[in-house]
Structure 1
Amino acid sequence: MMDIDDDDSVSSWSMKSDQMILYRDEEIHVDNDRFLDQHLDSLYEKRSSTRENALSSIIEGFNSDLQHEFVDRKFATLLHQCLNCIKRGSAREISLASHVIGLLALITGPGDKATEIFRESVTPISQALKTGFEASKTCSLLYCLAIITFVGGNEPEETEASMQLMWQVIHPKLGSNVVATKPSMAIITGMVISWSFLLTTMDGQTLDSKTWQGSISYLSTLLEKDDRPLRIAAGESLALIFEIGSLEKFCNEAKGHSNGSHQERRESVHIQGMRSKILNQVRNLAAEAGGKGSIKKDLNRQRNSFRDIMEFIENGYTPETCTKIGGDSLKTFTWSQLIQLNFMKHFLGGGFIKHMQENEFVHEIFDFEPKRKLLDDENLTCIPKRWYKSPNSAMSKTRTQTLNKQRMQSQDRNVGHFAVGFRDE
């Protein structure tokens, strides 16, 4: 009887303890909502610095908690105030507003809200990309465009249209009122990173060959630039293109009026020539010696990255990585997964761990199930769903699984393919 009484006492205390935790969590959520409401109101202020401070605080709030209740209540208001900041704000305000919109898309996940974010934001972002070439502003706009397209773009044509907008930052369509401006290395790097992130979602067979002819040649020239982050971004982008296949869609067309078979031979020779050139560049960068003023950390990162790229081109082996997320491990096995992971790390910054642990859409992207979530799922009966579950799972799961399957199939097709091609030469 003493044992039973003790058990009942422990059980009673446990229930009271759980209730106390729930009440405390409810108070925290209320405080967070009030905190964000105040900063949302500040976005109506005329002083630019006030709006900038409010945007910074909203970003901090989204990095510390996914804020689903606030997003549910004030989604449309926050989106349109951020779009107003992009239309009229300073470079810093545009950068911050772009980041908030990207976070908003990740928190809502695929669905009607993400589609609205995408469709409402594309035009203001594309217009802002044409006004000045301040690096942090332009890169923030590019990253935002990548995220909202990744989450809210429902059709391949929409994704490819966003990729074209990115490409035009580097290769603008010149008209009578357009002055060619040479973008900085940082902007080119941001464009390549964002473009590659969206390319991970595309099936090579669906790409428009006329749009991307010559892109491999351009990326190859970036390997020769005196900027290591740019070289690495370009190298990983090239590795991704090899992984998804359909190389002819990214190479220059062989000109001439030859018959079909002769034309195909010329195109094949051209593609093999590009492969050989890229492999030689990759080998050199994988073994580059440190020069005067060289930062050892950057040099080692470049060497390691290009050794992985060389191993893939020569033997078809993709790098396997393992990232620690709290007590969990997130593994990648393809270039597509690695590029997506690196983009998320860069975009989320201090909020990366929080999203990896609690954002169900991010879980689906990487097929990642953290132990912390599994433990929480055992206590669902005492925790209201709105406190632990984001409203973004059902729609995205099929789409994400399909994309992952396409990437794995591409990898299987290409294993050993490049090595054979180069040995035949």
Structure 2
Amino acid sequence: MPKNKKRNTPHRGGSAGGGGGSGAAAATAATAGGQHRNVQPFSDEDASIETMSHCSGYSDPSSFAEDGPEVLDEEGTQEDLEYKLKGLIDLTLDKSAKTRQAALEGIKNALASKMLYEFILERRMTLTDSIERCLKKGKSDEQRAAAALASVLCIQLGPGIESEEILKTLGPILKKIICDGAASIQVRQTCATCFGVCSFIATDDITELYSTLECLENIFAKSYLKEKDTTVICSTPNTVLHISSLLAWTLLLTICPINEVKKKLEMHFHKLPSLLSCDDVNMRIAAGESLALLFELARGIESERDFPTETVKFGPERMYIDCWVKKHTYDTFKEILGSGMQYHLQSNEFLRNVFELGPPVMLDAATLKTMKISRFERHLYNSAAFKARTKARSKCRDKRADVGEFF
């Protein structure tokens, strides 16, 4: 964000990633029968049984997203997780597109569900290089996975030189894809979100921020009414791209100077409301929330407003979402982190600063133990609840049967 930020000392960690990956490479060779194979990245060959077995040998990528950080704490050590991630990082260079995509998704899911700052800091250059190659040379699904990983990577690192380097490398590529009419709509959509989030975190130059705003603005403005006698905007395949661009643009406005916000409000005041007539409900919601946020910023967040306050609970803490700026920011990061959002609200210093939550709350092991319900206890509780519901429904069915027999 273009504010005074505490910068971390530059840490060139590409070599560390390579060193960590040597053990994973040895494991790969052992899995393949002790024979080393030459890695030929980005061929069009589909995933073979051999390459997919390598990927599953390190980790099932979906496993990181199913149960979140609790499973990582209970069933695996930090060393186990890092070993798997080293293997997945190596597999982002695999010759199979499916294997590369699975590796990217596995890394993204792990970073979304657990804070791994030191591990990522040492390997950020390696990861950035892999993301860059996948964005440039990969196909649709692989590009989407790469862009999604880039977003979570910046969320892990937070503001600072490291994230700025990532944005400097990936920003021009993301911008090119977003503006490429021949590219997949889904890829452009994911890249628009990624570009907005990474710029929100890492942009330190106000000129670059304005350039990003203009890029996103040029995309969603294509949804505005073109004819004066038209009262309804019909959705097109591009509508999902326009929605993502509008939401990313709105997020970046929250870190703009007030003069720029008022300028944008004046520019779009008579155009944005036309999107409220779109036949796509998601576009109507996005347009309505963007308008509300613009007016809130222009008036000042501290002014009186009518906002339905929401409460978000995470661990022993709770956060009150009491304005459009906070709601839009929360929704954006929740969309990226999914079920890992609560964990990041507890542990991620960047997000805690964004939402003004203060330093992470440190709890001793005894307190955590009293608060945490084991998986076995959850299983027993769920089983008991299921049996109770089944029994109640059975009684209802029995009563209906009795009534039927009576008549």
Q: Distance in 1 between matches of 2:188 and 2:305?
A: 35
What pairs up with 1:253-402 in 2 under 5 angstroms? 316-369=305-358, 373-375=361-363
Residue 327 of structure 1 deviates from its aligned partner by 3.6
Q: Distance in 2 between matches of 1:157 and 1:243?
A: 24
Q: Distance in 1 between matches of 2:366 and 2:216?
A: 44
SS of residue in 2 equivalent to 1:37? helix
Identity percentage over the alignment? 24
Residue 184 of structure 1 deviates from its aligned partner by 2.2
Structure 2: which 5+ runs fail to align?
Answer: 1-72, 223-235, 368-407
Alpha-carbon distance change, 378 to 364 in structure 1, aligned in 2, over 3 angstroms: farther
Deviation sequence 1:358-385 (CA, Å, 0-9, x none): 1011011111258x82315999xxxxxx
Alpha-carbon distance change, 331 to 208 in structure 1, aligned in 2, over 3 angstroms: closer
Matched residue, 2:241? 187
1:150 aligns with 2:139: no
From 160, 172, 179, the counterpart of 1:123: 172
1:215 aligns with 2:265: no
Residue 189 of structure 1 deviates from its aligned partner by 1.3
From 194, 197, 213, the counterpart of 2:251: 197
SS of residue in 1 equivalent to 2:88? helix
SS of residue in 2 equivalent to 1:324? strand
Opposite residue 61 of structure 1, the aligned amino acid is A
Asked if the contact 1:133–1:183 (Cα under 8 Å) also holds between the matched residues in 2, the reply is no
When the two structures are superposed, what TM-score results if normalisation uses the length of structure 2? 0.63
SS of residue in 2 equivalent to 1:106? helix
Q: Distance in 2 between matches of 1:91 and 1:97?
A: 10
SS of residue in 1 equivalent to 2:307? coil
Q: Distance in 2 between matches of 1:201 and 1:89?
A: 33
Matched residue, 1:65? 114
From 167, 170, 190, the counterpart of 1:140: 190
Q: Distance in 2 between matches of 1:341 and 1:109?
A: 16
Deviation sequence 1:122-150 (CA, Å, 0-9, x none): 10101111333534312211111111111
SS of residue in 2 equivalent to 1:322? strand
From 201, 222, 243, the counterpart of 2:296: 243
Q: Distance in 2 between matches of 1:365 and 1:77?
A: 28
1:162 aligns with 2:225: no
Alpha-carbon distance change, 101 to 38 in structure 1, aligned in 2, over 3 angstroms: same
Asked if the contact 1:52–1:92 (Cα under 8 Å) also holds between the matched residues in 2, the reply is yes
Asked if the contact 2:196–2:251 (Cα under 8 Å) also holds between the matched residues in 1, the reply is yes
Asked if the contact 1:92–1:137 (Cα under 8 Å) also holds between the matched residues in 2, the reply is yes
Asked if the contact 2:243–2:282 (Cα under 8 Å) also holds between the matched residues in 1, the reply is yes
Alpha-carbon distance change, 350 to 136 in structure 1, aligned in 2, over 3 angstroms: farther
Q: Distance in 1 between matches of 2:126 and 2:366?
A: 36
Asked if the contact 1:193–1:233 (Cα under 8 Å) also holds between the matched residues in 2, the reply is yes
Structure 1: which 5+ runs fail to align?
Answer: 1-23, 173-181, 248-312, 380-425
Opposite residue 361 of structure 2, the aligned amino acid is K
Q: Distance in 1 between matches of 2:299 and 2:311?
A: 29
Opposite residue 192 of structure 1, the aligned amino acid is L
Matched residue, 1:44? 93
Asked if the contact 1:203–1:244 (Cα under 8 Å) also holds between the matched residues in 2, the reply is no
What pairs up with 1:3-82 in 2 under 5 angstroms? 28-82=77-131
Residue 338 of structure 1 deviates from its aligned partner by 1.2
Matched residue, 2:228? none
Q: Distance in 2 between matches of 1:236 and 1:156?
A: 24
When the two structures are superposed, what TM-score results if normalisation uses the length of structure 1? 0.60
